[in-house]
Amino acid sequence: MTSAVEQLFAVKARIAAAEREAGRDQGAVTVAVSKTFEAASISPVIEAGQRVFGENRVQEAQGKWPALKHLFPGIELHLIGPLQSNKAREAVTLFDVIETVDREKIAAELAKEMARQGRTPKLYVQVNTGSEPQKAGIEPREAVAFVKRCREVHGLAVEGLMCIPPADENPGPHFALLEKLGKEAGVAKLSMGMSGDYETAIAFGATSVRVGSAIFGSR
């Protein structure tokens, strides 16, 4: 059985190859998605040098990451799941990057908590590129104006966009749309691509990819 550490290095090698093929500079960030995995499964991957991780739920992350961050300095923890406004305080305390800002209420709560705590996690706006009613994220046609409001009304320094394409569609057009919106919104970072399509995302300009099962195995 291949270990998570071996899988991590295989993913990083494939990312580097995809960057070369796309004629891009090397350096896309691998966000190792550790949701549902215990600290014992995550620690070997940290010990192998991985420092960027993603979690879907604030409460689950609170149960394992404070201790891991204490043991391993330099961890960058991303929130990649939907954020409820009543969890904004905990999210600002624990996460270094919040990728799922998608509505006015969340923007206002984050601005309030960041001012209160004196902590400034990096922020991405999540875009629902497939306009799926069951999925979080702002509509593509509203995304650029929303980034502007986050900056001008709430004082938030949004630095990226994030998307999760529909599972049953070719992800390429969704990645292309996010890249276009990113240019229009004036953001430098694009979080797109998961275990099944991260190489495609690299070709469309992803600066970070969120890879879980291809590293840790199926949940």
Going residue by residue through the chain, which has 219 residues, state the pLDDT in tens, using 9 for 90 and above: 689 999 999 999 999 999 999 999 999 999 999 999 999 999 999 999 999 999 999 999 999 999 999 999 999 999 999 999 999 999 999 999 999 999 999 999 999 999 999 999 999 999 999 999 999 999 999 999 999 999 999 999 999 999 999 999 999 999 999 999 999 999 999 999 999 999 999 999 999 999 999 999 987
In the chain the beta strands, taken as DSSP E runs, fall at 29-33, 52-55, 76-79, 97-101, 122-127, 158-163, 189-191, 208-211
Q: Which residues pair with 53 in a beta bridge?
A: 32, 77
Query: For strand 208-211 and strand 52-55, is the pairing parallel, antiparallel, or unpaired?
Result: unpaired
| pLDDT for 218 | 86
**For residue 154, which of 97, 185, 112, 124 has the smallest C-alpha distance?**
112
pTM: predicted TM-score of the whole model, two decimal places = 0.97
Contacts of 218 (CB under 8 A, 6+ apart): none
> Which residue(s) pair with 124 in the sheet?
160
Distances (CA, A) of 12 to 29, 208, 215: 9, 11, 10
Q: What is the DSSP letter of 96?
A: S
